[in-house]
Amino acid sequence: MRAFYGTTLANPLMLGTAQYPSPAILEAAFRESGASVATVSLRREGADGAGQTFWSMIRDLGVHVLPNTAGCHTVKEAVTTAHMAREIFDTPWIKLELIGHTDSLQPEVFQLVEAATVLTEDGFQVFPYTTEDLIVGERLLAAGCEVLMPWGAPIGSGRGLNNPYALRAMRAEFPDVPLVVDAGIGLPSHAAQAMELGYDAVLLNTSVARAGDPVAMARAMMGAVEAGALAYQADPIEARDMAEASTPVIGKAFLT
């Protein structure tokens, strides 16, 4: 597996921490799936110290923590949020989200490149949430990003990989860059498909947190990403239109 800024992950499942029915179920989903990365966020803290309780639980999981800039719409807002996240979570990693469209939550790729440039200069290790556009990918790498995270489908949509052709092209275009399908995964088969394309990890949240049994779904997702990764390494056969008998014809008895 390609390393993420020098860090080799134990497995290719990056799991979000939002929307679970309870903190206990969130914790069990991580412990039982073994997901190696947890995405987290920042919000206004009250005197009740809700953030402290959450942070203690995540820290105790012993996973890598990837803070996000979710909900940011401008470079300034995203850069300030990243600085605040680095101080709270004590990591240079930042999942850089710059939202450009209200309905699709499509990344605003122009500001994304600008923010990635600023943050890289400030010493951050940027994980940009981007589209499958190859030119944008090139610009992000030129800006100092060493990871790309194209969307599979809009966040929370559960549609799977909307454009496998483009994701395959991205894999071929950037053979040495760690690539993560981030967002849009609904089912384990979607996650497996991303790994079968040669991606290095899958980042998902809603499909696990909103499942009827989030813990079981987290385990299913782990099974899927591991199966997909193994399949990619195993060099799958090409699909063909016509049948090709797998059982040898030679030595077949004459019984007609």
Partner 1 sequence: MKITLNGEPRDIAATTLADLLVECGLNGRVATAVNEVFVPAAARETHAMKDGDRIEVLGAMQGG
Q: Which residues are catalytic?
A: 95
Spatial distance between the Cα atoms of 36 and 11, rounded to a whole number of angstroms: 6
| Contact flag: residue 19 with partner 1 (CB under 8 A) | yes
Residue span 101-130 as binding mask against partner 1, x where in contact by CB under 8 A, dash where not: ------------------------------
Contact 126, 79 (CB under 8 A): no
| Contact flag: residue 88 with partner 1 (CB under 8 A) | yes
Element (H, E) at 143: none
CB of 25 to partner 1, least distance (A): 12
Q: At 168, phi and psi to the nearest 5?
A: -65, -40
In sequence order, the 6+-apart residues with CB closer than 8 A to the CB of 11 are 34, 35, 36, 222, 225, 226
Scanning 75-83, 187-195, 214-222, 223-231 for contacts with partner 1 by CB under 8 A, the matching segment is 75-83
CB of 178 to partner 1, least distance (A): 19
Dihedral angle computed from the Cα positions of residues 196, 210, 129 and 198, in that order, rounded to the nearest 10 degrees: -10
| Contact flag: residue 177 with partner 1 (CB under 8 A) | no
Scanning 77-85, 110-118, 165-173, 190-198 for contacts with partner 1 by CB under 8 A, the matching segment is 77-85
| Contact flag: residue 26 with partner 1 (CB under 8 A) | yes
Nearer to partner 1, 139 or 147 (CB): 147
Residue span 181-210 as binding mask against partner 1, x where in contact by CB under 8 A, dash where not: ------------------------xx----
Spatial distance between the Cα atoms of 236 and 63, rounded to a whole number of angstroms: 31
With CB under 8 A as the contact rule, the residue among 27, 32, 51, 223 that binds partner 1 is 51
Scanning 2-10, 16-24, 140-148, 190-198 for contacts with partner 1 by CB under 8 A, the matching segment is 16-24
Helix 214-233 to helix 188-196 angle (10° resolution) is 20
In sequence order, the 6+-apart residues with CB closer than 8 A to the CB of 247 are none
